[in-house]
A and B are shown apart, each in its own frame.
Chain A
Amino acid sequence: MKEKENKDQHQNQNKNSSPNPGPNQNSTQKSQVTVEMKNITKVFGNFVANDNISITVHKGEVHALLGENGAGKSTLMNLLYGIYQPTHGEIFINGQRVDLDNPSVAIGLGIGMVHQHFMLVPIFTVAENIVLGQEPLLHNLNMSLAPLDMKKAIESVEDISKKFGLTINPLTKIQDLTVGQQQRVEILKMLYRGAEILILDEPTAVLTPQEITELAKIIKNLSAQGKSIIIITHKLKEIKEMADYCTVIRRGKYIDTLHVPSCTEQDLAQKMVGRDVILKVPKKDATSGRPILKIENLKVKDNRGLLAVNGFNLEVCSGEILGLIGVDGNGQSELVEAITGLRKVESGGQVYINGAPITNKTPREVFLHKIATIPEDRQKHGLVLDFSIEENMILQTHGDPSFSSKIGMLNHKSITDFANKLISKFDIRPANHLALARNLSGGNQQKIIIAREITHNPDLLIAVQPTRGLDVGAIEYVHRSLIEQRDNGKAVFLVSLELDEVLNVADRIAVIYHGQIVAIFKADQTDENQIGVLMGGGGSGGGASGGKR
Chain B
Amino acid sequence: MSSKLKNIFFVLVSILIGFVIAGVILKLGGFDPFEAYKIMFLGIFSKLSYVSYTIIKSTPIILTGLSVAFAFKTGLFNIGAEGQFIIGATATAYAGYFLNLPSYIQIPTILLIGVVAAGLWGGVAGFLKSRFGIHEVISTIMLNWIALYLQNYIVMLPGFRKPESEASFDINASGSITILENWKYSDAGVAFLDLHPLIGDFLRPPFNAGIFIAFLAALIIYYILNKTTMGYQLRAVGFNKHAAEYGGINVRKNMITAMFISGGLAGLAGSLHVMGVSKNIAILAATEGYGFDGIAVALIGGNSPLGCVLSGFLFGGLKYSGAKIQSAMEAPSEIISIMIGIIVFFMAIPKLFKILSELKLKKLSKLSKLQK
Determine if B248 and A362 form an interchain contact, defined as CB atoms under 8 angstroms apart.
yes
Determine if B243 and A395 form an interchain contact, defined as CB atoms under 8 angstroms apart.
yes
Determine if B236 and A387 form an interchain contact, defined as CB atoms under 8 angstroms apart.
yes
- From B229, B243, B248, give the contact of A384 (CB < 8 A): B243
Q: Closest A-chain residue to B251, C-beta based?
A: A363
Min CB distance B255 to A, Å, is: 16
Determine if B230 and A408 form an interchain contact, defined as CB atoms under 8 angstroms apart.
yes
- Whether B128 is near chain A, meaning CB under 8 Å from some CB there, is no
Min CB distance A419 to B, Å, is: 14
Most buried by A among B230, B233, B239: B239
Most buried by A among B229, B230, B233: B229
- Determine the chain A residues whose CB is within 8 A of the CB of B235 once the complex forms: 384, 387
Q: Mark A372-401, 1 if CB is under 8 A from B, else 0.
A: 010100001111111100010011101100
- From A367, A380, A404, A408, give the contact of B240 (CB < 8 A): A380
Chain A interface residue count, CB cutoff 8 Å, equals 28
Q: Closest A-chain residue to B232, C-beta based?
A: A398
Among B203-244, those with CB < 8 Å from A are: 227-230, 232-233, 235-236, 239-240, 242-244
**A367 vs B240: C-alpha distance when bound (angstroms):** 19
- Determine the chain A residues whose CB is within 8 A of the CB of B248 once the complex forms: 362-364, 366-367, 395-396
Q: Closest B-chain residue to A375, C-beta based?
A: B246
- Determine the chain B residues whose CB is within 8 A of the CB of A363 once the complex forms: 245-248
- Determine the chain B residues whose CB is within 8 A of the CB of A364 once the complex forms: 248-250
Among B233-291, those with CB < 8 Å from A are: 233, 235-236, 239-240, 242-250
Determine if B245 and A409 form an interchain contact, defined as CB atoms under 8 angstroms apart.
no
Min CB distance B48 to A, Å, is: 40
- From B227, B228, B239, B243, give the contact of A382 (CB < 8 A): B243
- From A342, A391, A399, A410, give the contact of B246 (CB < 8 A): A342
Min CB distance B37 to A, Å, is: 38
- Determine the chain B residues whose CB is within 8 A of the CB of A340 once the complex forms: 246
**A99 vs B227: C-alpha distance when bound (angstroms):** 56
Determine if A409 and B228 form an interchain contact, defined as CB atoms under 8 angstroms apart.
yes
Known: A362-B248, A396-B248. A410 touches B232 (CB 8 A): yes
- Determine the chain B residues whose CB is within 8 A of the CB of A381 once the complex forms: 242-243, 245-246
Among B292-311, those with CB < 8 Å from A are: none
Min CB distance A396 to B, Å, is: 5
Q: Closest B-chain residue to A337, C-beta based?
A: B246
- Determine the chain B residues whose CB is within 8 A of the CB of A380 once the complex forms: 240, 242-243
Min CB distance A299 to B, Å, is: 22
Min CB distance B69 to A, Å, is: 16
Min CB distance A340 to B, Å, is: 7
- Determine the chain A residues whose CB is within 8 A of the CB of B232 once the complex forms: 391, 394, 398, 410
Most buried by B among A373, A395, A396, A404: A395
Q: Closest A-chain residue to B233, C-beta based?
A: A398
Most buried by B among A340, A367, A373, A381: A381
- Determine the chain A residues whose CB is within 8 A of the CB of B249 once the complex forms: 364, 395
**A362 vs B242: C-alpha distance when bound (angstroms):** 14
Min CB distance A46 to B, Å, is: 13
Q: Closest B-chain residue to A367, C-beta based?
A: B248
Determine if A409 and B227 form an interchain contact, defined as CB atoms under 8 angstroms apart.
yes
- Determine the chain B residues whose CB is within 8 A of the CB of A387 once the complex forms: 235-236, 239
**A367 vs B239: C-alpha distance when bound (angstroms):** 21
Min CB distance B123 to A, Å, is: 20
**A336 vs B197: C-alpha distance when bound (angstroms):** 74
**A375 vs B243: C-alpha distance when bound (angstroms):** 9
Q: Closest B-chain residue to A394, C-beta based?
A: B232
Q: Closest B-chain residue to A452, C-beta based?
A: B247
Determine if B240 and A386 form an interchain contact, defined as CB atoms under 8 angstroms apart.
yes
**A410 vs B225: C-alpha distance when bound (angstroms):** 11
Q: Closest B-chain residue to A341, C-beta based?
A: B248
Known: A362-B250, A395-B236. A384 touches B228 (CB 8 A): no
- Determine the chain A residues whose CB is within 8 A of the CB of B240 once the complex forms: 380, 383-386
**A398 vs B231: C-alpha distance when bound (angstroms):** 11
Min CB distance A96 to B, Å, is: 32
Min CB distance B243 to A, Å, is: 5
**A385 vs B246: C-alpha distance when bound (angstroms):** 14
Min CB distance A363 to B, Å, is: 4
**A398 vs B236: C-alpha distance when bound (angstroms):** 11
Q: Mark A342-365, 1 if CB is under 8 A from B, else 0.
A: 100000000000000000001110
Determine if B229 and A399 form an interchain contact, defined as CB atoms under 8 angstroms apart.
yes
- Determine the chain A residues whose CB is within 8 A of the CB of B242 once the complex forms: 380-381
Known: A367-B248, A384-B236. A398 touches B243 (CB 8 A): no
Min CB distance A328 to B, Å, is: 19
- Determine the chain B residues whose CB is within 8 A of the CB of A342 once the complex forms: 245-246
- Determine the chain A residues whose CB is within 8 A of the CB of B244 once the complex forms: 384, 395
- From A362, A367, A375, A404, give the contact of B229 (CB < 8 A): A404
- Determine the chain B residues whose CB is within 8 A of the CB of A386 once the complex forms: 239-240
**A398 vs B237: C-alpha distance when bound (angstroms):** 14
Most buried by A among B233, B235, B247: B247
Determine if B239 and A373 form an interchain contact, defined as CB atoms under 8 angstroms apart.
no
Min CB distance A545 to B, Å, is: 33
Min CB distance A301 to B, Å, is: 18
**A452 vs B233: C-alpha distance when bound (angstroms):** 17
Q: Closest B-chain residue to A363, C-beta based?
A: B248
**A165 vs B118: C-alpha distance when bound (angstroms):** 65
Determine if B246 and A398 form an interchain contact, defined as CB atoms under 8 angstroms apart.
no
**A385 vs B241: C-alpha distance when bound (angstroms):** 11
**A408 vs B232: C-alpha distance when bound (angstroms):** 10
Min CB distance A111 to B, Å, is: 31
Min CB distance A44 to B, Å, is: 14
Most buried by A among B227, B235, B243: B243
Min CB distance B253 to A, Å, is: 11
**A497 vs B230: C-alpha distance when bound (angstroms):** 38
Min CB distance A315 to B, Å, is: 24
**A327 vs B320: C-alpha distance when bound (angstroms):** 65
- Determine the chain B residues whose CB is within 8 A of the CB of A409 once the complex forms: 227-229
Determine if B233 and A384 form an interchain contact, defined as CB atoms under 8 angstroms apart.
no
Q: Closest B-chain residue to A395, C-beta based?
A: B247
Q: Mark B341-369, 1 if CB is under 8 A from A, else 0.
A: 00000000000000000000000000000
Min CB distance B302 to A, Å, is: 14
Min CB distance B241 to A, Å, is: 10
Among A42-88, those with CB < 8 Å from B are: none
**A373 vs B243: C-alpha distance when bound (angstroms):** 12
Min CB distance B132 to A, Å, is: 17
Min CB distance A439 to B, Å, is: 11
**A399 vs B248: C-alpha distance when bound (angstroms):** 11
- Determine the chain B residues whose CB is within 8 A of the CB of A383 once the complex forms: 240, 243
- Determine the chain A residues whose CB is within 8 A of the CB of B243 once the complex forms: 380-384, 395
**A404 vs B228: C-alpha distance when bound (angstroms):** 8
Among A398-430, those with CB < 8 Å from B are: 398-399, 404, 408-410, 412
- Determine the chain A residues whose CB is within 8 A of the CB of B228 once the complex forms: 404, 408-410
- Determine the chain A residues whose CB is within 8 A of the CB of B229 once the complex forms: 398-399, 404, 408-410
Q: Closest B-chain residue to A380, C-beta based?
A: B242
**A100 vs B103: C-alpha distance when bound (angstroms):** 77
- Determine the chain B residues whose CB is within 8 A of the CB of A362 once the complex forms: 248, 250
Q: Closest B-chain residue to A407, C-beta based?
A: B228
**A388 vs B101: C-alpha distance when bound (angstroms):** 49
8 closest Cβ pairs, A-B complex? A364-B248, A395-B247, A381-B246, A386-B239, A363-B248, A384-B240, A408-B229, A384-B239
Could you write out 26 A-B pairs with CB less than 8 Å apart?
A342-B245, A362-B248, A363-B246, A363-B248, A364-B249, A367-B248, A380-B242, A383-B240, A384-B236, A384-B239, A385-B240, A386-B239, A386-B240, A391-B232, A391-B236, A394-B232, A395-B247, A395-B249, A396-B248, A398-B232, A398-B233, A399-B229, A404-B228, A410-B227, A410-B228, A410-B229
Residues of A within 8 A of B (CB): 340, 342, 362-364, 366-367, 373, 375, 380-387, 391, 394-396, 398-399, 404, 408-410, 412
Starting from the known contacts A409-B228, A412-B227, 6 additional A-B residue pairs (CB-CB under 8 Å) come to A363-B247, A364-B248, A384-B240, A384-B243, A391-B236, A395-B236
